[in-house]
Structure 1
Amino acid sequence: MDLNSWFQNGMTVDEYINGMTRNKEEMLSIYEQFTLKDGDRSKLEALKGKGLRVIVLSEDWCGDSLLNNPVLLRVAEGADIDVRFLLRDQNLELMDQYLTNGTSRAIPIFVFIDQDGNEIGVWGPRAPEMQELVEKERATLPDKDASDFQEKQMALYKGLAKRYQTEPEIWQTVADSIIATLLK
């Protein structure tokens, strides 16, 4: 299936949000609080009228989707980009074309396309600075064999999710990264 077909089969933003059973309030909270800076709005103005679209591979249980999707939605509004969501686990044929490091089905993945369905950019699953933060935090975990590994790992992810929801600097880092991909 070509990218235009994948896009057409995707859910609208409202359909995706209405279907969410996890992290809905948290994602909407970020969306409601995050606004684009004037400079970012100016950069995105150049993309208006180009008919760009984005396919979002996501799942509502994913912490990175919780952070990145609402930021993407604000960027898309600023550039008049039409957004469609596909659930990763129901669309593995497409997901497997966008593996992280060639092996991981990490999400979200944003596939930006033009009107003809040509891929013009791919973003995800994290901004490079966020990847560094996650790796730094993971480095503090005990060995996987340690009796407290799972407990400490869950605490780490819970702490990251809290930061994702409360630190506007993180939202801006994500926006900067997505905008840089779009403007390449």
Structure 2
Amino acid sequence: MDLNSWFQKGLTKDEYIDVMKVNKEGMVSIYDRFELKEEDKKRLEAIQSKKLRAIVLTEDWCGDAKLNNPVLLRVAEAAGMEVRFVLRDQNLELMDQYLTNGTSRAIPIFIFIDQEGNEVGVWGPRAPEMQALVEKGRAALPDKDAPDFQEKQMEFYKSLGKTYQTDSSIWQTVANSIMPAFL
């Protein structure tokens, strides 16, 4: 698989934001408000000479992408890393090489590559702490056969989305999870 070709095929940050329809405002809001810690910036500046790049498998309707993509963009800026966005649903050939647990097309997936196109690391779709939060919320839902399951599930996802949008400590947690994938 030629990851350089996938990188070239991807959308830049501005191109991706321009085509977003669902979570554009939320993603841009997190991007505008998140700032890395100074010690993280220094660590990332030290690897700028590696000229790493990132391919982001994503879709704009994804709540996890709304949280993770803007955090990655800030990490990438500090690392001098170019980022390209590849839409999952139009690029299943690439997505199917990065399935979560070998079966799920969960997104976002961040594929870190060097200048030759060699894979350096992969991250996604969630930080472990966020996965635990989601699992705890799902465990509290009624049985799938219960008449109020869908309503309760939607309430949970809406609440989770609001937390992603407003709890800035989560943004740092995500950054802390992403960086070891390529450092």
Tell me if 1:6 matches 2:3. Answer: no
Q: Matched residues, percent identical?
A: 73
Gaps of 5+ in 1: none
Amino acid at match of 1:102: G
- Distance in 2 of aligned mates of 1:56 and 1:181: 13
- Distance in 1 of aligned mates of 2:56 and 2:73: 10
- Distance in 1 of aligned mates of 2:89 and 2:42: 36
Deviation at 1:51, TM superposition (A): 1.2
Aligned residue pairs total 183
Deviation at 1:49, TM superposition (A): 1.6
- Distance in 2 of aligned mates of 1:71 and 1:40: 13
Deviation at 1:87, TM superposition (A): 0.3
Amino acid at match of 2:61: W
Deviation at 1:117, TM superposition (A): 0.3
Deviation at 1:181, TM superposition (A): 1.4
- Distance in 2 of aligned mates of 1:107 and 1:114: 22
2:77 aligns to what?
A: 77
- Distance in 2 of aligned mates of 1:102 and 1:36: 32
Deviation at 1:179, TM superposition (A): 1.0
Aligned to 1:21, the other structure's residue is in SS state coil
1:176 aligns to what?
A: 176
- Distance in 1 of aligned mates of 2:41 and 2:182: 13
Deviation at 1:137, TM superposition (A): 0.8
What whole-Å deviation, never above 9, does each CA across 1:74-111 have from its counterpart, x for those lacking one? 00000000000000000000000000000000000000
2:149 aligns to what?
A: 149
- Distance in 2 of aligned mates of 1:41 and 1:182: 14
Tell me if 1:64 matches 2:69. Answer: no
Amino acid at match of 2:87: L
Deviation at 1:17, TM superposition (A): 0.3
- Distance in 2 of aligned mates of 1:13 and 1:42: 23
Amino acid at match of 1:130: M
2:112 aligns to what?
A: 112
Aligned to 1:55, the other structure's residue is in SS state strand
Gaps of 5+ in 2: none
- Distance in 2 of aligned mates of 1:79 and 1:8: 19
Amino acid at match of 1:12: T
Q: Structure 1 length as normaliser, TM-score?
A: 0.98
- Distance in 2 of aligned mates of 1:169 and 1:95: 29
Deviation at 1:69, TM superposition (A): 0.2
1:133 aligns to what?
A: 133
